[in-house]
Structure 1
Amino acid sequence: MHKRDLLRHSARCVLLAAGSGLPLLAWAVQYQSPQEAMRALFPAAARFAAMSDPLTPARRAQVEREAGSGFPPGDTPRWWTAVDTRGQLLGHVALDHAVGKTELIDFAVGFAPDHAIVGVEILAYRESHGAEIRLPAWRRQFVGRKHPGQLRFGDDIRNIAGATLSCQHVSDAVQRLSALVALLPQG
């Protein structure tokens, strides 16, 4: 088949798929496992210990007030503590997800004992556009910030053209996690 015929055939297939109402593209990329993300956030950790769900109804209400946005229905972030070989607390890791435009984005956030963000890792991205949130330059904006007031989307956290909803929704989720980490028991 000549290149021109191949292009014509491809264009017909795309038009048929578009006319049928079927989605043209489906993306689901798993970039790293939760364990790999935890290691990236706390490379000096000797172990990670799962925590029980810290999101009590009272904490949920307090976090939503401080962050200015609510948890999506059924959203329960999972938490781990990171400790070194002497058993000293290195920080906490939260695994959560946010809806980009229509699909889930799985991510991890590391928090130092003083509640400062040590990093954000994208685990899985399922949208057809906006995966630029994986870029280190965008994720670095969160590092060192300690509370929801320092994580305002559009002010403190810049947008990426073409990834607006992904940026905003991940930023909102990190804001909520930042409010919640301050309520966790230390030690």
Structure 2
Amino acid sequence: MSRPTRARLAAGLVGVAVLVGIASAPSVPLTDAAFTDSEYASGSFTAATLSTPTVTSCTVTNFLGTFTGFTITWTSPYQKVQQRLSINNVVVDNTNVTQTGTGPYTYSATISSGLLNTLLGSLLGSTNTVRVDSIYSGTSWASPAVTRTLSVGGLLGLGGNNTCT
């Protein structure tokens, strides 16, 4: 046999082997998967919210007309760890807050002028926003805030009255 004949014979055998392999291969299995299923569900939901605290009093203390501090009292259904008191957006440490009751709880914070000066600097002749809100620890959830305005007059009350309204 000549070389070209052997090459044709080898090519023919390879072709037959490919055809036999294709014919003996298992068929592709069918599937029941469908991505156009018409089933659906509906419902309604509301997000959880935190209750707004209720400020029951905000009083200023004076000595000879000079501001010495203030006391703010509020109620909330949440524990002390979920209470946030801030003045001009500076958070007051909760060690300055006392808790009483078993729920709803009553909270009170007496803030001296010395502590306020440490937190905010001089308050003479200033108007300050006092905020109380409830927070959910570890998240950015906060209740709507309750605010009071703390006005501090000058020395001996010369710059106006000391009030918390």
TM-score, length-scaled by structure 1: 0.25
TM-score, length-scaled by structure 2: 0.28
Which structure's CA Rg is the greater one? Answer: 2
